[in-house]
Structure 1
Amino acid sequence: MKLEHRHILKTLSWRVLGTSDTFFLSWLLTGNPLSGMKIGVTEVFSKMILYYMHERVWSKRIRDRVVHRRLFKTLSWRLIGTVDTILIGWIVTSDPLTGLKIGMTEVITKMILYYLHEWVWERSFTVQFHKQQKLLSNKMN
């Protein structure tokens, strides 16, 4: 799979997971499912663009130790995602405190979800890489 296609698929899978989390947290904290939906739908677009850009920047970095790389990617993405959520929550509810509550609450849930998402994608990439290496070595023999 081409790296660009992988980034697009990874962006889409993360957005489904992340938007679901944001929708439920926003609904829970505002008590209004419509506000949760508005925040979630707005985030679909803003965060897909931001996540794709984040993934492209990280793909250009030298491969650090996998655990450290995953941790730093998790932290950098969470900072970007939290600021985006706070701003969208504030705009949708017209209340900066509500935007802040939503953004700060999802820091924990999103970091856990993102870390696990990275782990799954790294494992799938490693398995795919080893299969390709084995095919190449078999063809050479």
Structure 2
Amino acid sequence: MDAQKVMKEGLLEKRSNGLLQLWKKKRCVLTEDGLRLYEWKRSGSGASGSGSKAKELRFERMATVDCVEYKRGLVYFTVVMAGGKEIDFRCQQEGTAWNAEIALALVRFKNLLAVQTGRTRHLSHLGSTGEGETPESW
């Protein structure tokens, strides 16, 4: 994901897995391959996190973006991974919400993958059925 185009960058809150399930701020970067989550720390110059290690939620392992709920100016949503693991997020409702951006990017990724898979199958099918045939034998 290093050279991928950044589609959206900003703050999201992720619910922790612990017993208390606290909401923790994350600096997030959405790219063509997935979502990177960085620790969010307030410093003298604002939010930082670019130097910290990112947790990556790659689209190839994501199943869907689900469970959208609107409460008190916040959007609550869930990213469901291929193995069934659910990761809860919330963000401000203003502007284009993160859940919509992530869902659209996931659809683009899955569509591109389907086109590439279909093209590969089509080309392999053409290669296996067209062997040994010449235009004269048609």
| TM-score, with structure 1 as normaliser | 0.42
> TM-score scaled to structure 2, two decimals?
0.42
More strand by share: 2
Please state which structure has a larger fraction of its residues in helix: 1
